[in-house]
Structure 1
Amino acid sequence: MTEYFELGRILKPQGVKGEVKLDAFTDDLSRFLELGFAYFKDAEYKRVEIESARIDARYAYLKLKGINTRDDAEKLRGVFLYIDRAHAARLPEGSYYIQDLIGCTVKDDMGKTLGLLQDILQNGAADVYVVKLETGTCMFPAVKHVLINRDVESGIITVDAQKLSEVAVYDI
């Protein structure tokens, strides 16, 4: 399982004192108000302290330790911030981090292996799972009547073969 999760991407400097504007990858921006640190990723993950944070309806604005000027902040444009699993937001029962699902083997309830989960699209009423087949891809909505089980520990997602045949779109 993934040990670090993307928190967001730094969009640009905000002001002249080293603050950065973050496109956060979370549903709960208020989380940044309590978060005392994050990580940059280079060859390995490097911890950086968050000196202050503020939010609006869409973005988080962070003042990171050691980033004191607009020029310092400009060097971070496009850089991703991460959080370790131990400090990541707790998910409700039955919810999963996307990064933990990517790469799982997708099988049907008859035991047939379909392929590997390659991507999860989030753009509507339900997530759409994109599965890399032996040749081509398969896409289907991640809804209860299609998904039987998601076992992140074993890396296997099980789907109902009959329901999948009704909703799946194949690109072969």
Structure 2
Amino acid sequence: MSQRVCLGAIAGAFGVQGEVRLKSFTSEPADIGRYSPLTTEDGGRSFTVRITRPVTGGFGARLSGVNTREEAEALKGVTLWAERDRLPGLPDDEFYHADLIGLLVLDTGGAELGRVRAIYNHGAGDILEIYNRGQQLLIPFTRAAVPTVDIEAGRIIADPPGSDE
């Protein structure tokens, strides 16, 4: 399991006083500030995050040490990370996306489908992107399509829709 988890990304400046437009990846998006301080991916900078208001596609937020629009704009595209041990535990049937990335995916007969490369959610539920030798397979992350996730063993058993045909 990854020791750090990406909780958000800075989408750019918001206003002229150093606020940023922040996209949160937490299950309760407004809770991202609770995990402060958050660091950049390389660990080079650390920020305390305070949500100021909802904005289209995320939140307006103040980051410690960011006081001007220019400083905020320079952070566009920066991802914000928290140490894994600061995140709450999850029930047995829930997973952090970071824990799924890289897992081996097998079909119900044991044939290798590939590895999880990404997880997407466009509003209708999570979708696993499975990648294998240049081939991409998208599988809905539902109990029917993904009956088994075994983080300890590093594998997922999947029954992709249409695989019975």
TM-score, reference length from structure 1: 0.78
Distance in 2 (alpha carbons) for counterparts of 1:112 and 1:23: 37
Call closer, same or farther: CA 1:164–1:133 in 2, change over 3 Å. Answer: farther
- How far is the alpha carbon of 1:165 from its aligned partner? 0.9
- How far is the alpha carbon of 1:154 from its aligned partner? 1.8
Residue aligning to 2:74: 75
Distance in 2 (alpha carbons) for counterparts of 1:106 and 1:16: 47
- How far is the alpha carbon of 1:30 from its aligned partner? 2.7
Computed over aligned residues only, the root mean square deviation of the Cα atoms, in angstroms, reads 2.6
Write out per-residue CA displacement over residues 112-147 of structure 1, whole angstroms, 9 at most, x where no aligned residue.
222212232323534332222346233332221232
Distance in 1 (alpha carbons) for counterparts of 2:134 and 2:24: 35
In structure 2, runs of 5+ residues without a counterpart are none
Distance in 1 (alpha carbons) for counterparts of 2:144 and 2:32: 35
Secondary structure at the aligned position of 1:165 is classed as coil
Distance in 1 (alpha carbons) for counterparts of 2:162 and 2:150: 18
Q: Map residues 77-96 of structure 1 onto 2, 5 A cutoff.
A: 77-96=76-95
Residue aligning to 1:99: 98
Q: Map residues 1-172 of structure 1 onto 2, 5 A cutoff.
A: 1-42=1-42, 45-50=43-48, 52-56=50-54, 58-134=57-133, 136-160=135-159, 165-166=163-164
* % same residue: 30
Distance in 2 (alpha carbons) for counterparts of 1:81 and 1:93: 26
TM-score, reference length from structure 2: 0.81
Residue aligning to 1:170: none
Q: Bigger CA drift: 1-10 or 51-60?
A: 51-60
Distance in 1 (alpha carbons) for counterparts of 2:60 and 2:88: 19
Count of residues in Structure 1 that have an aligned counterpart in Structure 2: 164
